[in-house]
Structure 1
Amino acid sequence: MSSLTLLCLPYSGASAMLYSRWRRKLPAWLNVRPVELPGRGARLGEPLQTDMQALARQLAQEQRLAVSQPYAILGHSLGALLAFELAHELQALGCQAPVALFACGTAAPTRREEYDGPDWREPKSDAVLIDELRTLQGTPEEVLANQELMSLTLPVLRADFLLCGRYQYRSRAPLRCPLHVLGGETDRASEAQLLAWRQESLGDFALEIFPGGHFFIHEHEDRVLGVLCASLERHRLSA
């Protein structure tokens, strides 16, 4: 195949446009397509979602045209779980399978209870959400102290944490695509929780561990993109 579309799903509290900078670093044959979620970015006027299955079903309908050509899906943290559900919804619609699924920075769908715990099933206060942002170490203190920015970010973050906290795994036929899992050495997801992704697809499985914590995709962006590009080049040439 001559080109490949990469659907990119964001982590909690973020706009998918965080992936737009990758366009400058990846080869021309790889079309980076950030998948914006309702309630942020260009979709700011739409209601936020707290039901993972309903959101995945909506996104699958919206991306049907994009996946009529060869494509892969990538997500980080919340985005990885959503990418997995999106792949299933596209499969249910009869769409062609992605050439690969990249799940970054989170435990497998069957390991959510031990990863998330029971505390995120109900909405959290601003203070609790800010403490969690500090724990994840991806938000500068000057941003956390900016009330105007936080007033925009926290409602999105609250809804996104509910997406994860209320997620319910459903047993279905496995996916049929290669599955690449990326993790950070000091991130909360254990190696066992990352390896548990293996059971979700009949395709080849690979686990890659990077230095750094939860936001290793930013801390070691060039290395992550190198792995991503090399993997997709192999899939592109073998398809």
Structure 2
Amino acid sequence: MSGGAPPPALTLYGYWRSSCSWRVRIALAYKGVEHAYRPVNLVRDGGEQLRDDYRTKNPMAQVPLLEFEEGGAVRRVSQSLAILELLEEWFPSPPLLPPPGERYLRAKARQLAEMINSGTQPMQNTATLRCVKEELGGDERAFARRFIMSGLAAFQAAAGELAGRFCVGDEVTLADVCLVPQLYNARRYEVDLAPFATLTRIEAACLALPAFQAAHPDRQADAVAAGV
């Protein structure tokens, strides 16, 4: 695979309320990247992501998935952080990472993103909560709240030294792209956000930006089709 110009056409497979899909939508909107959208309903008929035709595209049976053609071959990349890094390489302006010379700040932006991506969001994932409820007989909402609260507390502590208007200074980074969907989910699970004033202040700054507004779940075609 070459490292040259981006392909002429991108297709994003996602779900309107998937926080991981939302991250990619924010990045595409922020960078002004045209793309096609293919909704994958995670709840209809047991989940369209579990169908054989979709599993062929993404063996993890998850969203998001970015599809494009290069050199006559169809390429696919899954996992939101991998997609975000690819978009950053293809479309470096406006950036979602601090300048290349700012290695510490770039690492911190990635750290904060991963605190959500790998340390918090998986604990509220549909498959995880279904297992907690159906296989373990637990309270799935209480389970999600417990891990969202601890994840946000750790995120706020880690962001404290660097936070400006956004998570890492005064420019949007991968950290903000991950934070906003996570706060949306925190509210879904009735997490008390009063202790996280820094994070909700940053969220408000993000949501004032057109890209974040355009990427909001309620504005997606599959949300509208579902009557949301």
Q: Which has the higher helix share?
A: 2
Q: Does the pair score TM above 0.5?
A: no
TM-score, length-normalised on structure 2?
0.29
Q: Which has the higher strand share?
A: 1
